[in-house]
Amino acid sequence: MPIDDVSPFMEAYRTLKANIEFASRRKPIRSVAIASATPGEGKSTTALYLASAYARAGQTVVLIDGDIRKPTLHQVIDRRRSPGLSDYLLDPGMMPSYVLKDTFIGAAFISAGRSVPNPSDLLASERMTELIALLKQAYDMVIVDTPPILAAIDAKILAAKCDGVLLVLESGKAREKAVLKAKEELLLANANLLGAVLNKTSRKSNPYYYEGYGK
C-alpha cells in the first residue's frame, strides 16, 4: 500500500527534510545514516518516510538497508532480501543497477542482501565507501538504515561514511544513559551528528519531532 502523501506523518517528514537542507547550507549533506540507540525505536520507519519525502519533492533518492544482520525494510515494502548490499560488496563484478529496485516509496532501494558472518568487515570496506560515493553521483540523496548503535559496530561504521547521521529516539522508551552512550559512540566515530528525531510523542499534529543537538 502506497504511503499517504497527505498524512500528518508525511508532513512531519517534509519538515525533517527541510531541517536537513538547512544543515546542508553549512556543509553539503548528500548521504544520511538513520540510527537508534536500541532496537524498536522507529529508525527503519524514519528511513522509509524520509526517503519518500525526498522522492515526493521531486528529488532522486536511494534507500539502503544497511542492517545486514537483521534487515526489515525488504519485508515492509515486499521485496526480496537478496540480491542486495552484501551481495554487491562481495562481488566486484556486480553493478549497482543490478541491486536497485523501484518501490512504492518512489525511490530506488537496495536491500540488505544475504546473511554473512562478517557484516562489519564488509561495511568498513573501501568498496562500501566507493558505493556511497557512486550513489551520491547518481542520486540527490542517499539514505542508509543502520542497526542499533549499542547492538553492533555497523551503525558507527556507516554513520562515519555518510555526510550526516540522525539519531532516532522513541518517546517514553529512550533512556538517558543509552542515548548519551549512543551519542558518544557516534562522536567517537567522527560521525556528523545532525540531531535527533523523537517519535511516538503525544503531539497529534506532529507525531515526529526533530531536534538538533546545537553542535
d(CA 177, CA 183): 10
CA-based end-to-end distance of the chain:
38
* Predicted confidence (pLDDT) per residue in 48-86, tens digit: 999 999 999 999 999 999 999 999 999 988 888 988 999
**Is the CA virtual torsion 150, 154, 155, 161 positive or negative?**
positive
pTM score over 0.85: yes
* Predicted confidence (pLDDT) per residue in 7-55, tens digit: 556 777 888 888 888 877 778 899 999 999 888 878 998 999 999 999 9
Cell of 166: 540522525
